Structure 1
Amino acid sequence: MRVYEWDGVPTPVVDADNYILFGLGGFPDNGSGDWNEEVAIPAAEAMERAAVDMYTEPKWRRKRMSGKSGKPTPRRGGHASKSAGASMGGGQTHPQNLSLAATHAATLASLFALEPFRRIAGFTNMVFYAFAERLHDFYAAEFDKICAHDPRIIRNLPARLSVFSTTTFNFGPATVTLPHIDFRNLAWGWCAITALGNFNPDRGGHLVLWDLKLIIRFPPGSTILIPSAILRHSNVSIAPHETRFSFTQYTPAGLFRWVYNKFRTDKDVDGSKTTTPQEREQRRKNRARRWAEGIKMYTRWEGATRTL
């Protein structure tokens, strides 16, 4: 494994052909104000307050110890988390807003309304566009179609701030994920991970990309965008007295399939009596080609690169 001591400067990570595989988004430079004081710290404090509101304090704090009692641990880790936004998959017949208790929905809505999270989302949106313009625009167009087709779908954030449909708040208090892939995300798509909290990034919280044998320093307040459905990833643990939260944005692959099928499920189209055998065979071939078409959305980087 190699360790990259990333300093938070926006950095594209390219493959052998100079296409941007993923982006170290970082945070704005000092010309945009004090990001740590105005955004990163207030966002972490807001998440901690929200966690205390949604969970009883002892239960929330005990999450740090998950997995040490011999009980099963969630695939991404034992930390507390809540998700909001549009969902499609797991047998759903159409896109729906994720179900939340009314009090939890109100708490998450209050987080989305806060200036720190709107600034994080807006900056992430800008970096996504800079590193993968065609992919960004594909995300925006497909989700716009879903919202236009079904006005019941609720955006977490205005379209100008985020092209992603769904958000997960990982409340920690020690958000350290186990090695995993997000298999429900778009295979060639990206998700955005923003690290928050009070931890020493030189000693813990690093992002581990197992398939690339790469460990990346991941400072609080910074954002990294990765193809999370194909790169197995996790985090390095933090010290017992530290806290780490994360704010992640993504769009489930099922939503893209729904649009591709003209607002129908694969099951509905493939099982329809009006779908001919020739059409089913063509759909099978099209599915095999979608990956090749998807990675064409990646951007070829023509500028200077930093060595990881």
Structure 2
Amino acid sequence: MTSRHRPLPAPCKRRASPTFEEVCATGKPLESSHRRRAAKRAKTIHEEGHRPRASVIDQQVRQADPLAVPSLNAEALPAAQGAYVAKIETKIEKCGSKTRRSLAELIGLGFQLIPWDGISARPLADGTGRIFASLAGQPQDDGWRAAVARAYQFIKAQGDATDFPMSMRHHRRGLFAAMNVGLMYGKGLRSPTWLDNKKLTPLAERLLAHPDVARMAHFASFSGPLGCTGTTLIITPHLLTSSPGVRRPFPKSVFASATFNFGPSVCTFKHRDVCNLPFGWCAIQALGSFDATTGGHLVLWDAKAVVEFPAGAVILLPSATVAHSNVPVADGEERISFTQFTAGGLFRWVDYGGRTEAQLAAEDPDEYSRTLAQRDKRWEEGLSYFSTWDELSNS
């Protein structure tokens, strides 16, 4: 065969760049350029959590099915002056808050039923078109469903094996054991502090270390940008820089704190989480074995809406300013929940340059005066973080 008729050599395939996870698994060192990119990715995730690419957000928006809830205007939600926390619940708000209401009762009171498969994304927009909550959904794959099932069984088993004190089983949110974990900052604290769970610290660490629980947490954080420009993201790099040793409950989740609501049938009372940031997302995930068309719904009182909430799904809302509760599940069914949030006091700490209000006033009176002058504008600024559907669909 002459050279003229020799078959051409097979085209050279460019070697794919190894992922950071592959390098960790094999132990082989990265080339310098790959090493720099991996370090940059790791730094970004450490500071800001796992954020979706713009193309992923665009795909979510294209597939989303928005729903208007004209009875609510987010501007009227009860943020306190300065908008670092919400207003304390009034006696009128608390009246009847511990009454468990069935789906039929709520519909009889004029609540709008929002059917939801727990998969497709459905942003909820107020009367002005501002997205005030997001039914973020869940991945459509068997691996996710298996992970959620394992997480549920693990949390349930850990809860069943724990003797919770009465104060953790009877509280303002309901009659079930609940445990907070993570970073806190509020009245009486001079700096952000990791919550001391005392004798239950080993339980907290086991829950945080479980890979399926972490996967759920990371997905909830990943879902945040749909409907909100990411209020929680603006705090994290500053907090980590100004407070050495600070960590988040889950490394790829941007939220500073989490709550495990143990079963067997979690049904929250009507409440607001007033210490959270008034315009910040709270991520709620339901788990268990129950019929989501008959019970387990999320009730949004200010919107007069009741949302079907299947196991494994994620809903995001500003829990400090939107009153919410659950419809009870049927006898024999099981439901637990897992939430992530960030205390508003952490934002104040960052805005004050890593200081308390008293320290700021003493150390920098001019800056303190400027901060006080901006208080009345912070709620308006906070509302600007919520996208409108037009902004999302045209971006």
Q: TM-score, normalised by structure 1?
A: 0.84
Q: What letter is aligned with 1:140?
A: L
Counterpart of 2:189 in structure 1 is: 92
8 A contact 1:80–1:173 mirrored in 2: no
Counterpart of 1:40 in structure 2 is: 148
Q: What letter is aligned with 1:275?
A: P
Counterpart of 2:365 in structure 1 is: 275
Looking at structure 2, the residues matched to 44 and 280 of structure 1 have their Cα atoms a distance apart, in angstroms, of 47
More strand by share: 1
- What SS does structure 1 have at the residue aligned with 2:190? coil
Looking at structure 2, the residues matched to 274 and 118 of structure 1 have their Cα atoms a distance apart, in angstroms, of 41
- What SS does structure 1 have at the residue aligned with 2:262? strand
1:230 maps to 2:321: yes
Shift of the 4–274 alpha-carbon distance from structure 1 to 2, 3 Å rule, reads: closer
8 A contact 2:134–2:226 mirrored in 1: no
Looking at structure 1, the residues matched to 125 and 282 of structure 2 have their Cα atoms a distance apart, in angstroms, of 17
8 A contact 2:233–2:254 mirrored in 1: yes
1:25 maps to 2:136: yes
8 A contact 2:248–2:254 mirrored in 1: no
Looking at structure 1, the residues matched to 364 and 135 of structure 2 have their Cα atoms a distance apart, in angstroms, of 47
User: How many angstroms does 1:286 deviate by?
Assistant: 0.7
User: How many angstroms does 1:280 deviate by?
Assistant: 5.0
Looking at structure 2, the residues matched to 153 and 7 of structure 1 have their Cα atoms a distance apart, in angstroms, of 38
Counterparts of 1:153-192 in structure 2, within 5 Å, are 153-158=246-251, 161-192=252-283
Looking at structure 1, the residues matched to 148 and 225 of structure 2 have their Cα atoms a distance apart, in angstroms, of 22
User: How many angstroms does 1:50 deviate by?
Assistant: 1.0
User: How many angstroms does 1:273 deviate by?
Assistant: 6.9
Q: What letter is aligned with 1:131?
A: G
Counterpart of 1:114 in structure 2 is: 210
Deviation track 1:59-79 (CA, whole Å, cap 9, x = no partner) reads 89xx9xx7xxxxxx4110111
> How many residue pairs get matched?
280
8 A contact 1:39–1:221 mirrored in 2: no
Deviation track 1:232-260 (CA, whole Å, cap 9, x = no partner) reads 11011122322211110000000000000
1:142 maps to 2:235: yes
Counterpart of 1:5 in structure 2 is: 115
1:297 maps to 2:385: yes
User: How many angstroms does 1:274 deviate by?
Assistant: 4.9
1:126 maps to 2:222: yes
Deviation track 1:111-138 (CA, whole Å, cap 9, x = no partner) reads 2222322221222122112332x22xx4
- What SS does structure 1 have at the residue aligned with 2:123? strand
Deviation track 1:169-212 (CA, whole Å, cap 9, x = no partner) reads 00122211111101000011110000011122111111101111
Looking at structure 2, the residues matched to 105 and 124 of structure 1 have their Cα atoms a distance apart, in angstroms, of 24
- Structure 1 vs Structure 2 CA RMSD: 2.1
- What SS does structure 1 have at the residue aligned with 2:294? coil
Looking at structure 2, the residues matched to 150 and 268 of structure 1 have their Cα atoms a distance apart, in angstroms, of 16
User: How many angstroms does 1:39 deviate by?
Assistant: 2.1
Q: What letter is aligned with 2:123?
A: P
When Rg is computed on C-alpha atoms for both structures, the one with the higher figure is 2
1:54 maps to 2:144: no
Looking at structure 2, the residues matched to 148 and 207 of structure 1 have their Cα atoms a distance apart, in angstroms, of 37
8 A contact 1:80–1:171 mirrored in 2: yes
Looking at structure 1, the residues matched to 388 and 303 of structure 2 have their Cα atoms a distance apart, in angstroms, of 19
Counterpart of 1:101 in structure 2 is: 198
Q: TM-score, normalised by structure 2?
A: 0.66
Looking at structure 2, the residues matched to 164 and 35 of structure 1 have their Cα atoms a distance apart, in angstroms, of 21
Counterpart of 1:215 in structure 2 is: 306
Looking at structure 2, the residues matched to 267 and 237 of structure 1 have their Cα atoms a distance apart, in angstroms, of 45
Shift of the 274–131 alpha-carbon distance from structure 1 to 2, 3 Å rule, reads: closer
